[in-house]
Amino acid sequence: MLGLPLLPPLNRPIADWRGRRVWIIGASSGIGAALALDLLDRGARVALSARNAPALRALAQAHPRSALALAFDASSPAEWTRAHAELRRSWEAVDLVVFCAAIYQPERAWEIQAARVEHTLAVNLGSVYYGLETLLPGLMQAGHGGVAIVASVAGYTGLPTAAVYGPSKAALINLAELLYTELRPHGLDVYLINPGFVQTRLTARNRFAMPALQTPQQAARAIVRGLERGKFEIHFPRRFTMLVRLLRLLPYRLRFALLRRTAAA
């Protein structure tokens, strides 16, 4: 008896990274830096962007011919215009942009501060919108390329101590779904990346046990595998992310009871 045919991937699989031009926003540390080094080792040309210019230059030194250090503040629309112009002078165009810039502050609802909220939303969410405004016209005109958005499993449901970070990531999940629907018919690939806990300077602020904690290198490998397979949502580690996805499906009464126990722990 013949089995059912496998469904095709939602995006075009990537068979070869050699010469592919990738722009990583938030590449100075953590997942972004690890992903940049992984792709450079695979032969990609990678533009490294963040505000930390010395860190970017240090990363680029290992691959002087294929890495481009391009420091700028992604939360500034004017800086996007400047950085994009500089990138075009070097490369003319980009094949894939990865939005990885993020800030995180553990905080509960009663600890919210307006200035911190504004800054978090500007970096986590605003920077993506500014980048889309800058890059989409060229990508759509070319009719090929891709956009990858790094959100988080914290965007799946309202988790304790993520009063601003979690909603910002939930917005990115919604945005990625919308972008796929609108951009895929125009020939563009869209990827949603939802990591679990990854060992970075941001998660070092947590004062609770982080199950299935990954290294940035493990996260980078999982992202590359997902991109190569043409997945839309790339979430990892699955032993943890599947549990959070299941939590999202529970009735609110059960979900809230479990979350309250987590918050009290």
- Domains of the chain by residue range: 21-264
CATH topology of domain 21-264: Rossmann fold (3.40.50)
Q: Which of 23, 11, 73, 27 is nearest to 232 (CA)?
A: 11
CA dihedral of 57, 41, 36, 151, whole degrees rounded to 10: -170
Q: For residue range 31-42, what is the model confidence (pLDDT) as tens digits?
A: 999 999 999 999
Q: What is the pTM of this model?
A: 0.93
Do the Cβ atoms of 234 and 194 come closer than 8 Å?
Answer: yes
In this prediction, residue 94 carries a pLDDT of 97
Instruction: Give the tokens for residue 173.
Output: 């999940």
What is the chain's mean pLDDT, rounded?
A: 93
- Cβ-based burial of 201 (10 A; exposed 0-12, middle 13-18, buried ≥19): exposed
Between CA 170 and CA 174 the distance in angstroms is 6
| Axis-axis angle for helices 252-264, 238-249 (nearest 10) | 130
**Per-residue pLDDT, 139:** 97
- Within 8 A by CB and 6+ apart from 153, the residues are 194, 195, 196, 235, 240, 241, 244, 245
The average pLDDT across 17-28 equals 97
**% of the chain surpassing 90 pLDDT:** 83
The contacts of residue 43 (CB under 8 Å, 6+ apart) are 16, 17, 18, 19, 20, 66
- How far apart CA 238 and CA 81 sit, in angstroms, is 37
Average pLDDT of the residues in 23-27: 98
Q: Stretch 47-62: mean pLDDT, rounded?
A: 96
Q: What is the pLDDT of residue 197?
A: 84
pLDDT grade, residue 1 (50/70/90)? very low
Distance CA 215, CA 149 (A): 19
19-42: b or e for each residue (b if 16 or more CB lie within 10 Å)?
Answer: ebbbbbbbbbbbbbbbbbbbbbee
Task: With CA atoms as reference, report the closest residue to 30 among 219, 156, 177.
Answer: 219
Query: Do the Cβ atoms of 105 and 156 come closer than 8 Å?
Result: no
The per-residue pLDDT for range 105-148, each reduced to its tens digit, is 888 999 999 999 999 999 999 999 999 999 999 999 999 999 99
Question: pLDDT per residue over 179-225, tens digit each?
Answer: 999 999 999 999 999 999 888 887 778 777 778 889 999 999 999 99
144-174: per-residue pLDDT in tens? 999 999 999 999 998 888 999 999 999 999 9
Bigger pLDDT: 22 vs 261: 22
Report d(CA 177, CA 123) in Å as an integer: 20
